[in-house]
Amino acid sequence: MAGNRIRNAQLRSKIMTADQAAALIPKGSNVGMSGFTGAGYPKEVPLALADRMNAAAAAGEKFKISVWTGASTAPELDGALAKVDGMEMRLPYQSDPICRKRINAGEMEYLDIHLSHVGQFVWGGYLGKLDVAIIEVVGIREDGSLIPSSSVGNNKTWLDCADKVIIEVNNWQNEALEGMHDIYYGTQLPPKRKPIPMITASDRIGETCLRCDPAKIIAIVETHSPDRNSPFTPPDENSKLIASHIIDFLGHEVKRGRLPKELLPLQSGVGNVANAVMEQLQDAPYDNLMAYTEVLQDGMFNLLRSGKMSFASATALSLSPEAAEEFNRDVHLYREKIVLRPQEISNHPEVIRRLGLIAMNGLIEADIYGNVNSTHIRGSSIMNGIGGSGDFARNSWLSIFMTPSQAKNGAVSCIVPMATHVDHTEHDVQVIVTEQGLADLRGLSPKKRARVIIDNCAHPYFKPALNEYFERSVKYSHGQHTPHILDEAFTFLPEWQADKAAQDAWKEDSLVQADAWK
């Protein structure tokens, strides 16, 4: 029945259609939307807004807004708004193909920020004023507080900072989600900051609901739709090999007494490879695993279901349609095992450092010295964004990056002489894993890192060329700490591989230059 989930009688008067709510959003506004890795994003108001933008374009008017979220959303939000060219600026992480196209065509601004920094940037006022927040919840309590949905992301910050608030109450999400969240209200700006009182991943330090001043709520829209819930591809051979190298390595660390037998809390990044590692932990000899992560995908959900994992802290669920159905049906079974927190806490450097996580994230390319590019193709076009990978890589106890050794059906090596863009410097990258093997870089100087990365991680097809580049760099580079021949450093790009004459010309030039430096 309409309004069932809206237990505050006064707020029931704000119920309206998505079109009516979208009509309240001014042109040019900064709009903070809920949503994190396809979970908990508003399902109807962004679509209605896209219709309004379309109508404006047909009338010869421009109607754009800036969109701030927790992380990636779904076709109904990023896709719909990008399609009608309705976004002036977008932040932070996104993974929508239409959005990506517009950003790389120079038609849309994109701010790729560490996920833990977004809240404090907004509080600090660096991004301008937040005009409107559009937040999905599963219900509104009698006292007007909001029961969060399948992600928390930046919702607390948006609700605190926005002038006006539009709420979507999604009846599809199970009401029994109430109680699964932990919203911490103790963060401050410097110099007033105090320690965040979290000692283990399962600690609860906040409230179960989001506070919101009822006077700011201008519209409530009722919806009934599941989250995006993309299916995961079954682990391929490469993912299985990557997972088994990681599990062998963790076993080795336990044997050496460098990790406890239940490991340390796990952080697992987005995507199929990360999911495959979690799947394979099912058969590994570890019990009582814990997670302190950003996103909870199927692999981790299965570990919770089987009892191998006792607790997971995240900011969002990112489940396949089957797992989402199961979770939604059996929320009561997971209430004591999962907590969803604001992303400023799930990704907080202080907490990550204190808990001592094992972080596992994907990469686009790593160079032979261990610098990692997670975001850019050929140094210039964005893939998705840095997301939380920097928060975790810099501050975890153990920072692992994983990738197949080659991309684009073998045309491109993911191990390159010099990364074309660097998100994670050699100082933050401790282990690199491909299906070929694992490079433990801890305690190694750059030239030793290069040998172990090429030997253990590069694909056999690219290994001779990488070795050759490295050997010649050692001979001819300007300095011997991190040897490079800059003119050749990017010759692994596909267009260079195809252009033998250009490569030879550069090679000759670089030798002349190297001689001059000697």
Report, as residue numbers or ranges, the catalytic residues. Answer: 294
Residue carrying the six token digits 């996104």? 94
Q: Nearest distance from residue 221's CB to ligand COA, in Å?
A: 30
Is the CB of 39 or the CB of 270 nearer to ligand COA? Answer: 270
Helix or strand or coil: residue 457? helix
Q: Which of 166, 284, 414, 429 binds ligand COA (CB under 6 A)?
A: 414
What are phi and psi for residue 74, nearest 5 degrees?
A: -160, 170
Shortest Cβ contact with ligand COA: which residue?
A: 362
Among 70, 362, 370, 483, binds ligand COA (CB under 6 A): 362
Supply the minimum distance, in Å, between the C-beta of residue 157 and ligand COA. 18
One residue of 136, 279, 365, 440 binding ligand COA per CB under 6 A:
365
From 77, 81, 118, 104, select the one nearest 294 (Cα to Cα).
Answer: 118
Does residue 273 interact with ligand COA by CB under 6 A? yes
Given a contact cutoff of 8 angstroms between Cβ atoms, the answer to whether 511 and 481 are in contact is no
Span interacting with ligand COA, options 220-228, 264-272, 314-322, 477-485, rule CB under 6 A: 264-272
Considering the rule CB under 6 A, would residue 96 count as an interface residue with ligand COA?
no
The 10 Å Cβ neighbour count of residue 291 is: 25
453 contacts 366 by C-beta, under 8 angstroms: yes
User: Does 273 appear as a known binding residue?
Assistant: yes
Question: With binding defined as CB under 6 A, does residue 412 bind ligand COA?
Answer: yes
384 is in an annotated binding site: yes
Kindly give the residue spans of alpha helices, DSSP state H, lying in 110-236: 118-124, 155-161
Beta bridge partners of 412: 407
Report the residue number, 29 or 313, with the smaller CB distance to ligand COA: 313
Q: Is the peptide bond before 42 cis (omega within 30 degrees of 0)?
A: no
- Given 32, 86, 139, 271, the residue binding ligand COA (CB under 6 A): 271
* Interacting residue with ligand COA among 272, 310, 425, 467 (CB under 6 A): 272
| Closest to ligand COA by CB, 143 or 495 | 495
* 364/493 Cα distance (integer angstroms): 13
CB of 472 to ligand COA, least distance (A): 22
Residue 257: Cβ within 10 Å count: 8
Q: Which helix (H) or strand (E) holds 80?
A: helix 80-83
CB of 296 to ligand COA, least distance (A): 11
Please identify, using beta-carbon distances, which residue of 338 and 414 lies nearer to ligand COA: 414
**Residue 186 annotated as lining a ligand binding site:** no
Residue 269 annotated in ligand binding: yes
Name residues whose C-beta falls within 8 Å of residue 476's C-beta, 6 or more positions apart in sequence.
485, 510, 511, 514, 515
Task: Write down the least CB distance from residue 97 to ligand COA, Å.
Answer: 9
Interface residue with ligand COA among 294, 426, 428, 435 (CB under 6 A) is 294
CB count in 10 Å sphere of residue 176: 16
Among 42, 70, 235, 269, binds ligand COA (CB under 6 A): 269
Q: Which is nearer to ligand COA, 115 or 132 (CB)?
A: 115
Residue 256 or 408: which CB sits closer to ligand COA?
408
Backbone angles phi, psi at 81, to 5 degrees: -75, -35
Residue located via tokens 């000692």: 199
DSSP β-bridge partners for residue 432: 401, 439
Rounded Cα distance between 423 and 439, Å, is: 19
Distance in angstroms (rounded) separating the CA atoms of residues 386 and 272: 17
Cite the beta strand spans of 393-473 per DSSP E. Answer: 398-402, 406-407, 412-413, 415-416, 431-434, 437-440
Draw the binding track, 370-409, toward ligand COA (x: CB under 6 A; -: no contact).
----x--x-----xx-xxxx--------------x--xx-
CA distances from 355 to 191, 227, 351, 409, 433 (A): 24, 30, 6, 39, 23
Residue 400 is labelled as binding a ligand: no
Residue 422, amino acid = V
> Which CB, 94 or 477, lies closer to ligand COA?
94
Q: Is the peptide bond prior to 191 cis by the omega test (within 30 degrees of 0)? A: yes
On whether 395 is known to bind a ligand per the annotation, the reply is no
- Residue among 361, 371, 396, 477 that touches ligand COA (CB under 6 A): 361
272 marked ligand binding residue = yes
Q: What's the angle, vertex CA 450, arms to CA 281 and CA 256, rounded to 5?
A: 40
Contact residue for ligand COA among 270, 317, 366, 400 (CB under 6 A): 270
Looking at residue 305, its amino acid is R
* Beta carbon of residue 365, minimum distance to ligand COA (angstroms, whole number): 4
Rule CB under 6 A: is residue 417 a binding residue for ligand COA?
no
Which residue ranges are tagged as binding site? Answer: 269-273, 364, 384, 388, 408
**Interacting residues toward ligand COA by CB under 6 A:** 269-273, 294, 361-365, 374, 377, 383-384, 386-389, 404, 407-408, 412, 414
Q: Please report, in range form, the residues annotated as the binding site for CoA.
A: 269-273, 364, 384, 388, 408
